[in-house]
Chain A
């Protein structure tokens, strides 16, 4: 073996994020726990990614996230078959591919982990989209289990008192629902404890994401897509807090050692929308080939997007506003402002927007955001059409050409 290769291997070893292994172990344990819940006398609730999970944890219910499952299905390239199966069942090909994958998967127990554990109840919060409402109706019929809906009206330009009262009323109903289906009184003290952990986890996650403000960035958005899993699934637990503390330490260490995500970072880009799960490696390599690092994204930061509304001394009441005012539940202009401030904070030289056929609330309005960012931040913006899970809507050669052209533009604009 030549010394060159040896050196390359050493370099690879040095730049690998060590926490990746821990994360895989935690996720494996989590899914084993979830899949053996019944034997251990525990209940399982399926919940939407933007839903209030803390009350479930306070009640010892294991939360399971079909969207996280959808991401795994996408990343393991198993979505095309499952989506096709959903189409056979009568679901239109134009529906969200998480929903299609999950709906089909439930009937065959397929996918990367042989299907999710059967739910005892479903908790659907529509603060991310109207799709989840319809999707959970489908699953509530299929599994014949109770469905709790937390209806959080969108805050186009304002957050009204009436809507606050409405969501607050429903949080009370949520506690009652959990009491009924868990057969025990709701533990409010425990909730405050879980809430503190949840906030701690979110703050740590934000701190991890913020390490990319360093030049070169110690991690990229592609790493963030991976490490996101715990803030979604284990938010509110000590496990998540410990994990993100370790990850933060590792990132800080990388900063001090100048270990970067992209070897020769020259260009810093921002990403918008969900990842293209089945092509993260390809996209990451393609951008790295241009010495470009994706330093920030709107997706993984969405799980800290309402930190300012949450109060660690009154978690129960602050959840109302916190869960109503997340990134996707605001107007397109408010989203554009957020993107602009991120471009500024992370010093991005360009913005890549994934126009995601699956996700209308995230994607419709992107053209306007594109224009606003181009005008006000003066950076080039690429909109590329794809789908987060269904690779039948991905044209590699076309996207390659568009990325190459875009990178030239960004370079000329530096």
Chain B
């Protein structure tokens, strides 16, 4: 390297570099563009009532996507998000219907979901098995086990505490459910962990370069375990939010939750290769999916088209990520 190039380095990166370095800018533009298109084509889209509906529809996938983001940041992938969440709804519902205290039932269900995360983490970090296979296996085991527990069918769960997350409050014309607030609080908490703490920085370092992380003295395996543990806990909270939306425990529910949560994360600009991205992007990604589905429904378009457009968005997002990696 010559002295001339060293001297010409600027202290502050260019605007373009900063935009490329802030992965949530692109998704935000996409979200705004969709909102403008839908608002122009249908005046009902921007009604406060409709915005509340979009948020409510985003709650479960939005919450699951928090855990998925953590896992993907470590260069893993979690195919058991939906199954672990359903585990939570079935166990909580079953216990309450058997007459157990609802707080205990929900708490126990969340604990079990955390345990499922811990099991996945132990296999991935302890035995160094690929996350894809481990979570696929857990998906299969849980799906079968849950159908056995619930004897095949869905059952209603009528308990005010379990349904509490679906209760609404009015904030300046907006109808918000407690579930929406819990989701946003979780986003805030995990954002803080990822961006302001040592724990979060190590998540990025491990996803970025696990060998370098090990060599600088980060206990990589223990850290991975904590990531899957926290993800499992978040899926458990999502189970509570799911019971608030639909008071029904269904072993066949959430079959698209895996793909939807991965979609939210990827559209939100988090790299499937790990170490890059963040939670703000994921929240925007989950909202993009919600807005798209809602807007197309309002426009009277066949739901199949929603999946098609979502699919195209995922591929574009991954292609953009790959291109920006090659640039370096």
Please indicate whether A and B come from the same complex rather than being unrelated chains: no
Q: Show the binding face of B for A, using Cβ within 8 Å.
A: none
Q: Show the binding face of A for B, using Cβ within 8 Å.
A: none
